[in-house]
Structure 1
Amino acid sequence: MDFTPTEAQDDLAELTRTILDDHVTNERLREVERGEDRFDRALWTQLATADVLSAALPEPVGGGGFGLLEQCSVLVELGRVVAPVPYLSSITAAAAIARFGTDQQRLHWAAPAARGELVLTAALTEEHNPTPLVPSCRAERRDGEWVLTGSKTGVPAGALADLVLLPASTSDGPRVFVVERDRLAVRRQQVVDSDSEAWLDLDGVRVGDDRVLGGDAVLGWLLTRTTVGTCAHQVGVLSRALELTSEHARERVQFGRPVGSFQAVAQRLADAFIDVEAARLTLWQAAWRLAEGLPGEAEVATAKFWAADAGHRVAHTAVHVHGGVGIDVDHPLHRYFVAAKRNEFALGGAQVQLGRLGDALAG
């Protein structure tokens, strides 16, 4: 097991950070956050032009031929600045089409997504169901077509995506369908970090067999890769939040001393450092096993547990050490707090992951 970053990971992370440093500022983020979807189209275009979007996709769809490790390196950098782009949802969906789709599906959907021309997403969250392997939406065969009914909630970038990967239950098990967003009834759902997810209603949407991506293997793959990607984004969020908090503890003087010199503050920062490193280690363990084609169910659950549990502690430590400015929405720190909370609960929080880990160990 070797977690040493590849040359491609280092180069891609450096390129991504350079673009983000030039573009993502506190003022620019405030401007973007006044919109409905917290989406910076100009930044998305820059990332596409620099081949950051395509790097982790296979060569047949115009990608760089890299994979999950490189994708996670990009997500860490995006998390460090809480960049307002739907990289995780779009590139994971494009990678699923590249892996499981037909030549036509790759040509019409994955390749444009690699170029940044289409935004994709996957509707993986199930209301009241932390293990969404049995989708609540239904798909039935009628007159040679599939008829989709039901609703999906909490779909990332659901209001701006061009295409949605929609899991639905059929008489033969789950299938994943590719549906244009404008064929669905869409309602924005504002979430904790001022981004918008979406509630999607399917009222008898009809699709042909050319819109079927695959079955339970595709759904399981999407859930696993999205979970690992969320962990990578969380590592970036927590790393930068800890850096900002450490800087504040060195500079903020109280009672004639930097607050970081007080034992209680120093202990909390030390605990936060351990939490961030644990989240980082478990992320790369899970990503490496998946990239090598090895079983990784327990490792993915472990990584998401640390992303959630450590994420909670680090986010609260950051706010507490900052004091009053920690809850000031004009201060950059608040973005890291709300981003960490969103990542904490995405696809199941700490308790859900412990249950999955227990099932994996028992199995």
Structure 2
Amino acid sequence: MPIDFSLTEEQKQLQALARRFAREQIAPIAAEYDQKEEVPWQIVEKLHEVGLLNAIIPEEYGGLGIGMLEEVIIGEELAWGCMGIYTIPMASDLGITPILLAGTHEQKERFLRPLTEKPALAAFALSEPGNGSDAAALRTRAERDGDYYILNGTKMWISNGGEADVIVVFATVDPAKRHKGVVALVVEKGTPGLSAHKLHGKMGQRASGTYELVFENVRVPVANRLGEEGEGFKIAMNTLNKTRIPVAAGSVGVARRALEEATKYAKEREAFGRPIADFQAIQFKLADMYIGLETARMYTYYAAWLCDQGLPHAQASAVAKAYASEIAFKAANEAIQIHGGYGYMHEYPVEKLLRDVKLNQIYEGTNEIQRVIIARNLLKE
């Protein structure tokens, strides 16, 4: 079968819809909500209206059932408008994915359909105050009590944690068992004993709500467990192997925005009697930004294609996430350099691009962890 790099008509339509939404709805308010550190709920409502919220939910449960490549196409566009705002639907897809991977038909009907009927979000709660990269070292306990689990512990850095209607929580039945003791439980908003505390003072992505979640004797039905006891760690890792690809897509969107802003400014700004775009030093910066952007996008598409084909994609996902996020950070940094002193000020959007995309190198597995994954796969081969 020949390789085809063209998008289908449906994919082009989704891209156009997301691009228009980012330009008309997200970009104009991005700076405002970054400064206010508030979630723009009206954007969540509008994403729901146009069908771009929770779109990975299968049609059987009320969603669009889009594939990973479509998710990537949409993600690049929304992140172009604001990486922080894009993180809201991206983190919701992160919370939905373990239910898609390990949930029964009844669980999918019960937890996913309500997320398509109104503007609603999901969340993924794995990290804790004392561990992030060491995901098997969980301290949040899930003690069996008849038909319930009793949850006690704290989760940290949880995107959408305070807004989500559905939270997939990873806990341990016995810390000594490490990954073999992890269980995945779906906790619904408003469950007694669950409290959410918003974290303030983030460097970037400030329009996305990040929370500490505290569980105090939270009773969760066994019927809310995904898979069996001991399968939670595998569910979490399989989820992240998929959802690192949309992080890469967001990074591509930021890199594209950085290149566009830098190119525009280089044509307008004059020095020594001519636009700075005439100087080879600036031209080389723009050329390198373009090389990185195109390479990152192509590899992100490749990782998405592997995922959609049902082929092994953990390695490609790690490469895409690490490479795209680093390329985007470099592009944002160069955009600031091209803007000079103005790039350091809120007046221009490039300083926000740098602050926002730094987190892409950290969440859903730091880029150091991505290199561990890549190296282990290489050594297995």
Q: TM-score, normalised by structure 1?
A: 0.91
Matches within 5 A, 1:47-86: 47-82=47-82, 84=85, 86=88
Distance 2:345 2:161 in 1: 29
> Residue 234 of structure 1: CA displacement?
0.9
SS at 1:300's partner residue? helix
Matches within 5 A, 1:153-302: 153-171=156-174, 172-183=180-191, 184-190=194-200, 191-193=202-204, 194-195=206-207, 196-214=209-227, 215=231, 216-302=233-319
SS at 2:163's partner residue? coil
Does the CA-based 8 Å contact 1:57-1:65 persist in structure 2? yes
> Residue 92 of structure 1: CA displacement?
3.3
Give the equivalent residue in structure 2 for 1:326. Answer: 343
Does the CA-based 8 Å contact 1:124-1:223 persist in structure 2? no
Count residues in correspondence: 361
Give the equivalent residue in structure 1 for 2:144. Answer: 141
> Residue 303 of structure 1: CA displacement?
0.8
Does the CA-based 8 Å contact 1:16-1:74 persist in structure 2? yes
SS at 1:202's partner residue? strand
Give the equivalent residue in structure 1 for 2:30. Answer: 29
Distance 2:166 2:55 in 1: 21
**Which residue, 126, 129, 133 being the options, matches 1:130?**
133
Distance 2:24 2:211 in 1: 30
> Residue 343 of structure 1: CA displacement?
1.2
1:209-228 C-alpha deviation (Å, 9 max, x unpaired): 12112334421232122211
Distance 1:91 1:53 in 2: 9
> Residue 311 of structure 1: CA displacement?
2.4
> Which structure 1 segments of 5+ residues have no match?
none
Q: Is the deviation greater in 58-67 or in 327-336?
A: 327-336
Q: Which runs of 4+ in 1 moved over 4 A?
A: none
Distance 1:69 1:131 in 2: 29
1:268-293 C-alpha deviation (Å, 9 max, x unpaired): 22211111122112211111111111
Give the equivalent residue in structure 2 for 1:102. Answer: 104
Q: Is the deviation greater in 172-181 or in 161-170?
A: 172-181
Change (3 A) 1:25 1:296: closer
Distance 1:142 1:54 in 2: 33
SS at 1:24's partner residue? helix
Does the CA-based 8 Å contact 2:44-2:119 persist in structure 1? no
> Which structure 2 segments of 5+ residues have no match?
175-179
Q: Is the deviation greater in 243-252 or in 341-350?
A: 341-350
> Residue 334 of structure 1: CA displacement?
2.5
Distance 1:155 1:63 in 2: 24
Give the equivalent residue in structure 1 for 2:45. Answer: 45
% identity of equivalent residues: 29
> Residue 316 of structure 1: CA displacement?
1.0
Does the CA-based 8 Å contact 1:166-1:176 persist in structure 2? yes
Q: TM-score, normalised by structure 2?
A: 0.87
SS at 2:310's partner residue? coil
Distance 1:112 1:6 in 2: 30
1:185-231 C-alpha deviation (Å, 9 max, x unpaired): 22212322223311112223221112112334421232122211111
